[in-house]
Amino acid sequence: MKCQNFLHKHCLSCDLLSHDYLSSIKIKEQQLAHLFPGHIDKMKASIICDRGTEGSRNKAKLAVALSQGEIEFGFYDQRMQFKKLEDCPLHAPVINAILCMLKTQLTIHKITPYDLLLKKGELKYLLITYSESTNELLLRFVLRSTESLYRLKKLTLDLVALNPVVKVVTANIQPIHQAILEGDEEIVLTENDCIAHQFDQYLLFQGPRSFFQTNSTMALQLYRQLQKELSTLSIHSFLDLYCGVGAFSFFAEKYCSQVMGIEISAAAIAYANKAREINGSADIHFSVMDVEVFLRNQQTNRFDAIMVNPPRRGLNDSIITHLMRLAPTYLFYSSCNVETLHRDILHLETQYQLQSLQIFDMFPFVSHFETLAVLSTKV
């Protein structure tokens, strides 16, 4: 992939871009093998971006600044210097294309970028998510205050009229003068509050604060692989921890007669239940609860298989202890942080044996990658 921003050292976020794509995959495989030297034989073939890497990201997180009277989108480097970046080749083309229209609309409606030095202005960040399967955009404007909210509402009406791809627009209020991406208050400015994603026969919904994988093509391959693993096993009950909007749960339903998803975000569970109704998934039950609290309360329930898809920090000792107490026959662990995955599997290996490890290249040309680990109880 050719990127002028990388070649001119303007943006070095893609730390593996000096290698060709297949070489970057080899580096990731070597990293996984280094952490699991005794399980190299358990490493399955990596799932890579066979459709190409350009346009593979469905998300963009862009800082906003004013340069010589012009609005620009980009990022702040380690020295907190703003750098323009409006043509990232990894972003879905729709994301890059809408930036010009947004500049015009922000100027017309007099919504000024926030100035870090002067501590003035309103718009701090622009967060964009695109669903390729339904051609829908979700735009989140991170504002310093509600001062420009009325103007942003008018901008939203114009933007939706000009570009029907824009499905959801929100204002996120982040008043603190710190490098914090978003605040706690989210104001939906459109009739719709979520966009839809089609994954095989399942429709999933994503709201402004819902977690969703950054690469839809790789995400689908990950969900399909879980389903493939389940198809070879005799599993009746399946527990999906950190279930988000329910993707793993829906793909598990085909081979499991009882599926339960647990997630601390009430908004995510609301979207999961909406998808449950539309997909006709009567055998799935979603609940809003902290994972650790839920596990602590499970005294009599038993599950044949448990899926965990935690944040980058991984699992804590208490959660691992509860998982081993519940003693499911199979554990599936999806992780975007191979370091914490390795740490947690070392703990789990007192009771479980590793069956397989597989890389899913969710983040092309970046050192991070998604890994699916399958474990079973020791015999």
**Catalytic site residues?**
336
- Yes or no: say if 194 and 267 are a contact pair by the CB < 8 Å rule: no
Euclidean distance between CA atoms 325 and 343, whole angstroms: 19
Report the C-alpha gap between 61 and 57 in whole angstroms. Answer: 11
Do 333 and 363 form a contact (C-beta atoms < 8 A)?
no
Three-class HEC string of 55-91: CCECEEEEEEEEECCEEEEEEECCCCCEEECCCCCCE
Q: What is the Cα–Cα distance from 211 to 310, expressed in whole angstroms?
A: 11
The burial class, CB within 10 Å (0-12 / 13-18 / 19+), for 190 is middle
The residues near 7 (Cβ < 8 Å, ≥ 6 apart) are none
Tokens of 103: 């500049």
